[in-house]
Structure 1
Amino acid sequence: MNQAQATKNTQVQHMNPIQTNIVEPQGTVHHAPHDAALAARALTALRGLYEQPLALFSIVDSEEDLAEIETLAQRITAQSDVLVLVGIGGSSLGAEALVALRSANHSVRLMVMDNPDPESFAQMQQTVHPDRTSWLFISKSGGTLETVTQVMLVLDWLEHEIGAEGIRARCYACTEPTSSSLAKLADHYGMMRITHDPLLGGRWSCAANIGLVPAAVCGVDVRAVRRGMRDVLHHALHTEAEHNLAIQGALYAMRHAALGRTIHTIMPYVDRLEFLSAWCRQLISESLGKDGKGITPLAALGTVDQHSMLQLMLDGMDQQFFTVITTHQHGVGTKISKKLADVAGLSYLADKPLGDVMDAFQQGTIASLQAAGRPVRTLHVPVVDAYHLGALLMHIMIETILIADMMEVNAFDQPAVEDSKIRAKKVLGA
């Protein structure tokens, strides 16, 4: 699609499976001409990225890679009870967000080794059975020190447990097609190498094999994930600013950051979306925190963090703006016994399903935040499944790209993090 076609198609309303509502404190000033100019520029930039094409958008727009991903997942599933993913940051967070959808009775579970903590490594060795485990080593550069050090320890251990042939059959390395440390280790043992797209940054990689292989191994419908992502992408590309959910979300963030509310609290009321908040933390921090600018993402979980953070949210400094992620909970789940509700003196709960309790608290928190004069945006999906999780992931990625354009920072690099890596290597004698 060329630029002219993209512009023409903005008149078409494309489906977005996410419902959103923004309630801002009384007196919040909307600078309509300024907002319109920001939105127009950001939308033009987004369409320009699609035309380049940006690797993320090309991947989402295609299904050509999915058969290969599913075939690899079937191979791993057939030989494994556990898939151990050795990777950190963008190499693991997207996969964890997707694998949270895994059914409790699915045969394969995911274990992530990210932090190079000696105690955690020892616990892994005591937990897994090497002859019923597969290993996925992920590092875009192939030189991520936390990952490569653990890969070497795993390989040394596995060589004693299942031998070089076992390593070749059970270990997979995902990295760029370069001669990196991880690539050399993979070639030494004859492991299958999976190509990490050199043009796709780790924090954007949940849409690609890096996120989708672990998801498919754990029984997640990766075609539905990709479909949800694609629907949201085309809504963002082809919908004018006034009705464009990603544009409106970016303007919401910019308005409140300009007022000194630079903490974005992301609070799903769904346990399976807890890892989504952790993934957001990296995406937003690394994409926007540059040149003295940025937004600080704060991950929370309802109702758990009502018992740890809500006091601060409601009565502390007015530094936060909120995104509360909800789903249909009313009428869902096991019913509370009338007999026990009466015994407990809570007769109003008799015969109510557990979902009614969660629904009441998510409604109550949203109303409390609004009453306290806090800006609140809700993102609502009717059900938390692969399609709608894909939609949420893509919405947040596009919104982050748009905010970066509005802030005039590069969403796709992270130059400052290299300094700590260099210093760590010096400590180790490099």
Structure 2
Amino acid sequence: MEYNKNFYQIHSNGDIFQRIQSERGTIGYYDLPYQDTSDIKAYAKTIVQKHIVVIGIGGSSLGVKAIYEFLLPSNKYQKDLVFLETLDPLEINHCLTKFDIFDAHFVVISKSGNTIETISLFKYLRTLVEINSDNCTVISKAKSGLTKFAQDRDIKVFELAENVGGRFSVFSVVGLVPLAMVGVDVDNLLNGCKRVSASFFDQSSYYAPIIRKARFLVENKARFNINVIFSYSSSLEGFNKWYVQLWAESLGKININKTRQALTPIALIGPVDQHSFLQLIIDGVRDKIVTFIKIADLKDNTIIPKSNDKNLGLEYAEGLSFNDLLNKQADATIESVEAQGDIPCDVITISTVDEYNIAKLMFSYQLLVSAIGEFLQINTYNQPGVEKGKAILKESLQN
């Protein structure tokens, strides 16, 4: 008697680790922490325009925006990053009123070179301002039409490797080039990635939390299929949006057993969403896992002042810094969730606001998603559902 099988089963942590080790030979994002940034930094220093305009969508802009918005409140950059990532004409033209397009450097990012949103926006911009080698940089794969366009005009091209997917590209030239132009310390970003990568692959401090969380999420996906991030800082709003794309586009797949997987991401900001979604978490259906993200030091010591008017009340909060109040609100919310006893939750505390720490957080999430994908036995790195919509749009426009 012979017996063969191909059905889904949950592998051991060791098996999953070996599978991720094997992925390093084909999936490009694993190597990004160890790249040489000399050319990127040297080129960035030649950019003289005040406004760095990123023209891209999805993985071509979300990660860059997440890092920039995290760092911006506590840094004074001489240049600013602007993002054009919509086809809404009202938003496009409103955005264009916010900066001087004649003092702008346009970074056009499209791996395929034919992303309809990006190329359409770029074509429109070319009717407003002359695009040339002095005010434009292109990031695309080696043989795309966009790359050919740039090469024909001596516009600088940074090639994006075929094996680096958009939502895993933030630490590639996609993120490093525009961030370096603004003045972000891209080497410190990569140092944060290296810290997590080395620890995980050495099976040191970052290994166990990532692999255990991935396993828990997969083993309990039938009951807890909604994954909530509750970030306690407005500077993490960009990270939240990046997380939603990374999670949804990577994990919403059909596995080898032809079973549809559904790990749904939801991203919240505290304390704002304490006044809405928290009610659903506490008293709603027990189908959610919650991850709280706190920042210990926001690099701002603004204090709640004392008031002589007793009608305002809340004297017990006077003299407290807003940073401390924000974290105390987070702690109170965490305690209220933990007190339920049947809502899985964990807490990530970022020590401070800098490149190193946001990179550690983001690279950890990339590794977590890769581990979950291996547990689920799916292709984490494709997006067939997205491609179907693109194909339908293209056909409809051509007919």
Structures share a fold, TM > 0.5?
yes
**Structure 1 CA distance for aligned equivalents of residues 289 and 328 of structure 2:** 21
Q: What residue in structure 2 maps to residue 421 of structure 1?
A: 390
Q: Which has the higher relative contact order, 1 or 2, with Cα contacts under 8 A spaced 6 or more apart?
A: 1
1:33-182 map, 5 Å: 37-50=11-24, 52=25, 54-62=27-35, 64=36, 66-76=37-47, 79-100=48-69, 101-102=71-72, 103-159=74-130, 167-180=132-145, 182=146
Counterpart secondary structure, 2:128: helix
Partners of 2:211 and 2:371 within 8 A in 1: yes
171-180 or 393-402, which deviates more: 171-180
Alignment correspondent of 2:239: 276
Once the two structures are superposed, residues 2-42 of structure 1 have per-residue CA deviations (whole angstroms, 9 ceiling, x without a partner) of xxxxxxxxxxxxxxxxxxxxxxxxxxxxxxxx98x431111
Out of 158, 164, 168, the residue aligned to residue 194 of structure 1 is 158
* Secondary structure of the corresponding residue to residue 96 of structure 1: helix
Give the corresponding residue for 1:246.
Answer: 210
Aligned counterparts of 1:423 and 1:330: Cα–Cα separation in 2: 46
> In the superposition, relative to structure 1, how do residues 295 and 61 fare at CA in structure 2: closer, same or farther (>3 Å)?
same
Evaluate the alpha carbon distance shift between residue 227 and residue 327 of structure 1 in structure 2; reply closer, same or farther with a 3 A threshold: same
Say if 2:297 and 2:353, in contact at 8 Å, map to a contact too: no
1:354-378: per-residue Cα shift (whole Å, max 9, x none)? 1121011100111111122311111
Aligned-residue offset at 1:184 = 3.9
Provide the residue aligned with 1:408 in structure 2: 377
Cα distance in 1 for residues equivalent to 2:308 and 2:39: 52
Amino acid at match of 1:425: K
Q: CA deviation at 1:122?
A: 1.6
Question: Aligned letter for 2:46?
Answer: R
CA shift in 2, pair 1:154/1:330, >3 Å? closer
Which consecutive unaligned segments of at least 5 residues does structure 1 have? Answer: 1-33
Match of 2:339 in 1: 371
> TM-score, normalising length from structure 1?
0.84
| Aligned-pair identity (%) | 27
Distance in 2, matches of 1:139 and 1:332, equals 37
Q: Distance in 2 between matches of 1:347 and 1:245?
A: 40
The verdict on how the C-alpha distance between 1:332 and 1:127 changes in structure 2, with shifts beyond 3 A counting, is closer
Contact kept in structure 2, 1:42 and 1:406, CA below 8 Å: yes
Q: What residue identity is the alignment partner of 2:139?
A: C
234, 244, 264: which is aligned to 2:227?
264
CA distance in 2, matches of 1:387, 1:236: 16
Q: CA deviation at 1:135?
A: 0.3
Change (3 A) 1:179 1:345: closer
Q: How many angstroms apart in 1 are the aligned matches of 2:17 and 2:40?
A: 32
Structure 1 position 151, deviation (Å): 0.8
Per-residue CA distance 1:136-194 (angstroms, 9 max, x = gap) = 000000011111111111112213xxxx5xx32101111001142x2343245432111
1:325 is paired with a residue whose SS is strand
Which amino acid in the other structure matches residue 306 of structure 2? Answer: K
How many Å separate the matches in 1 of 2:207 and 2:65? Answer: 31
- RMSD, matched Cα: 2.1
Query: What's the CA shift for 1:275?
Result: 0.9
The equivalent residue for 2:320 is 352
Q: C-alpha distance in 1, partners of 2:351/2:200?
A: 20
**Deviation by residue 1:238-275 (Cα, 9 ceiling, x = unmatched):** 116996221122123223313x2111101111222111
Counterpart AA for 1:121: I
Q: Which moved more, 1:292-301 or 1:326-335?
A: 326-335
User: How many Å apart are 1:395 and its aligned residue?
Assistant: 0.4
Q: Which moved more, 1:380-389 or 1:189-198?
A: 189-198
Post-superposition offset of 1:389 = 0.7
TM-score (ref. length: structure 2): 0.90
Are 2:141 and 2:161, in contact at CA under 8 Å, matched by a contact in 1? yes
**Conserved in 2, the CA contact under 8 Å of 1:40 and 1:241?**
no
Which stretch of the first structure deviates more once superposed, 226-235 or 98-107?
Answer: 98-107
Deviation at residue 350 of structure 1 after TM alignment: 2.2
Q: Which among 213, 217, 221 is matched to residue 181 of structure 2?
A: 217
Taking a change above 3 Å as real, the CA distance of residues 242 and 236 of structure 1, as seen in their structure-2 partners, is closer
Distance 1:192 1:168, change over 3 A: same
- If each structure's helix is expressed as a fraction of its own residues, which one has the higher value? 1
| Aligned position for 2:5 | none
Distance 2:308 2:185 in 1: 39
Question: SS at the partner of 1:382?
Answer: strand
1:6-21 to structure 2, matched below 5 A, reads none
Contact 2:247-2:369 within 8 A present in 1 as well: yes
